[in-house]
Amino acid sequence: MKAKLLSFLLFSFAVTTLLAQDPDTTARDKDEQVKTGFSLGGVPVVAYNSDIGFQYGALVNLYWFGDGSRYPMYDHSVYLEWSRTTKGNGINQITYDTDKLIPGIRSFFEASYLTEKALDFYGFNGYQAVYDLDFEDKTDIEGGANRLYYRHSRQLLRLKADFQGEIIGQKLRWLGGVEYYGARIDSVDVDGLNEGKKEDFLSYNSLYGNYLEYGMIPEDQANGGGNTLLKAGLVYDTRDNEPNPFTGIWTELQLHYSPSFLSNTDYSFTRIVLTHRQYFTLIPEWMSLAYRISYQGKLSGEVPFYMLPYIFNTAPKLTENGVGGAKTVRGIRRNRIVGDGFAFANVELRGKVLRTNVLNQNVYIALSAFVDAGMVTQKYHFDASGIPDQLPDNLPDKIIDLDAKEIPHLAFGGGVHLVLNQNFIIAVDYGFAAKKADGDSGLYIGLSFLY
């Protein structure tokens, strides 16, 4: 709670400072200053996310606008982040985005090493995976309930090279690329987290451990693996502005092939990703409506369980964790919706409430209201025969319900966005889960509009 309050106060201070500017300095988009040359957005990372806790560190986003003739589009963008969170996560990341490196081709490169001491794990197939919020809220020194019961640890090395080229101008583009995911999965380091404590101890039991014990996760997948994705597809893009479009469509089709000969496992699979986003102007330069619909599903083969909870986007957007949380269905738990195939949707109303110029930087503040939803559309098959008829007393009453009907997981909420030079965006969203089986609520302070 203290971390949440501190982050909110820091953001409020930034907003208050901007509101204190002389209102006569507010400029229309058509009158704002065109940026040329270098523009640097560098800030300490002081943020909060209900999924990962209080975040601290530093990030830098360097833009090169050249002669400014394409502003707000840039020629080169380099993003670097080093941050840690109070829930034990670490981000070590660098990305490079440009359409000048290879003439006529937009190139995007990423190198990330991401650590999670307590990554959300609720099982498979949506509501078939029973989530007991009350059980998670308890801690029992005798080894019973554990507030990290629905967690495991993960260390992830992610390398990416994406390319896009024109078919019909910038409106219709081909895409291709390669990504590597090296994931190491293990139980939460309970001994390390308990070290030095005199109370509030964590117990060893976990859903991940139960899935291993009951044979629901194959032994050769239990500790992760390395998988390479080969990607190809199409992008149709008529947005008027990438960071916050007011008109246009952004639709993408991706086909993924993960061959076993490019991994250290025996698993090969293919996947399809289809995402459509559309933007409508309600009040020119002030208010817009945006929606996103995405389907991502397996076409063939067997996907290892640790490769299921990812949301794939075309560059410059980054791959995210599974459905639920900050980047998909805000308000429900991260990775709550996991299966071989899934769909999710967002509808968001956005309105600018202030535009001004501060220290020669173009700034605006926007408010938003949203409704999000997601559901499993293709079940992940696993062996549930090893689950005992009666679970031990130190576990929830039920961990799976194979008869449960999968219906949309719903959430709703609102947000505030502080935008610098139309590209650097500090975003605050707060979402509420419609059902307790998906969680309660979530606060997310980070960068960029959701889509």
* CATH number of the CATH domain containing 217: 2.40.160.50
The DSSP call for residue 133 is H
pLDDT (tens digit, 9 = 90+) per residue, 63-87?
Answer: 998 888 888 788 999 999 999 887 7
Give the integer Cα–Cα distance in Å for 257 and 393.
Answer: 43
198: left (phi over 0), alpha (psi -120 to 50) or beta: alpha
Number of domains in the chain: 1
- Alpha-carbon distance 330 to 346, whole Å? 9
According to DSSP, residue 15 is labeled: H
Q: By CB neighbour count within 10 A (0-12 exposed, 13-18 middle, 19+ buried), where does 255 fall?
A: middle
Question: Which pLDDT belongs to residue 165?
Answer: 95
pTM summary value? 0.83
Please, what is the Cα angle at 167 between 166 and 172, to 5 degrees? 85
Write out pLDDT tens, residues 263-281. Answer: 988 999 999 999 999 999 9
CA–CA distance from 158 to each of 9, 93, 225, 443 (Å)? 34, 9, 12, 26
Dump the DSSP string for 151-217: EEEEEEEEEEEEEEEEEETTTEEEEEEEEEEEEEEE---HHHHHTT-SSSPPPS--HHHHHHHTTSS
Place of tokens 């967690």: 151
SS3 31: helix
State the residue range of the domain holding 348: 2-447
**Cβ(112)–Cβ(106) below 8 Å:** no
Task: Please determine, for residue 197, whether its predicted confidence score (pLDDT) is greater than 90.
Answer: no
